[in-house]
Structure 1
Amino acid sequence: MGKIDSKQLTDKIQNYRDNGKSCSQSVLTGICTTVDCKLSEEELLSLGKGFSGGIGGTFDEGTCGALTGAIIALGLIYPNDPKMNVALSKQLLKFFQDEFTTLQCGKLTHNGEDKTICDPCCAFIGEKFAQLYNEL
């Protein structure tokens, strides 16, 4: 597998955000179209939709969509390597929690009332995904 250009990935993720896509959709689709996960953009956007707003718009009850989008992408990239999938998922979770102190969308966005943190969360997880991917 080739290397991922972190800036190119985060720009792609931001482009999806700028075009009205949720964090989960943007991160999942940005990653998977960068590494060619074999699903169409439409399928990826559809797959990521239900994880928006902390899974189904629950906010306080759900995990940040940027993180869930990246973890779904790992499953698509490494479908036959559960150890790799779990290990990288754990690392992404730790990076995210260390940076933002919580995984809960509602705590990050004040129950969806202030989404200014969303773009930085998406960029952060894109950068960390590229870092992990490139270290393999």
Structure 2
Amino acid sequence: MLLDAVKKYYNKDYDLNCAEAILYAANETYKLNLDKNALKTMAAFGGGMAIEETCGALTGALAVLGILFVKDKAHESDRIKELAKEFFKRFQSKLSTDNCKKLKELYRNDEERCSYIVFNAAEILNEMILEENCIN
């Protein structure tokens, strides 16, 4: 399950940021076959794109949705727009905001970092993927 893989990657042993942990976990769970270079694409998205804006766990999840639901180009897939909007809606409903700074004020602590946020993003992502029946 995705949450188990996120718990594996979002810890001190791997030392990945929130966005990286979501993508690494999804790559393993859903067998996305992403190589190391593809996984590195999320490096700059952690910490709210390094400026405490949009949450990295959220952007990591959107990247996974793009991989799963876009054949070649985003503008050729109306479904990805709907899924992205739905992910934002669920994320904001559960955590009250998508802003990294505000989320950290609400949920982050030194010991667990942003685990609560990252784990919730993973649960929402997994729910949506299961609802879409795109993973066996």
Please indicate, yes or no, whether the TM-score normalized by the shorter chain is above 0.5. Answer: yes
TM-score, length basis structure 1: 0.81
Runs of 4+ residues over 3 Å off in structure 1 = 113-117
Q: Matched residues, percent identical? A: 27
Tell me the equivalent position of 1:27.
Answer: 22
> Which of the numbers 117, 124, 131 marks the counterpart of 2:120?
124
Q: 1:65 aligns with which of 53, 56, 66?
A: 56
Distance in 2 (alpha carbons) for counterparts of 1:38 and 1:83? 24
The root-mean-square deviation of aligned C-alpha atoms, in Å, is 1.8
1:4 aligned partner: none
**Range moving further from structure 2, 85-94 or 117-126:** 117-126
Paired residues in the alignment total: 123
Distance (whole Å) between structure 2 residues aligned to residue 31 and residue 120 of structure 1: 17
Using a 3 Å threshold, how does the CA distance of structure 1 residues 125 and 45 change in structure 2: closer, same or farther? same
Q: Return 5+ residue gaps in structure 2 as ranges.
A: none
The one-character-per-residue Cα deviations of 1:71-110 (angstroms, maximum 9, x if unpaired) are 0111111222622211111111111101111111011114
**Partners of 1:44 and 1:13 in 2: how far apart?**
17
> Which consecutive residues of structure 1, in runs of 5 or more, have no partner in the other structure?
1-7
Greater relative contact order (CA < 8 Å, ≥ 6 in sequence): 1
1:17 corresponds to which of 10, 13, 16: 10
TM-score normalised according to structure 2 size: 0.81
- Superposition map of 1:1-136 within 5 A: 8-18=1-11, 19-40=14-35, 42-55=36-49, 57-59=50-52, 62-80=53-71, 82-110=77-105, 114=109, 116=112, 118-136=114-132
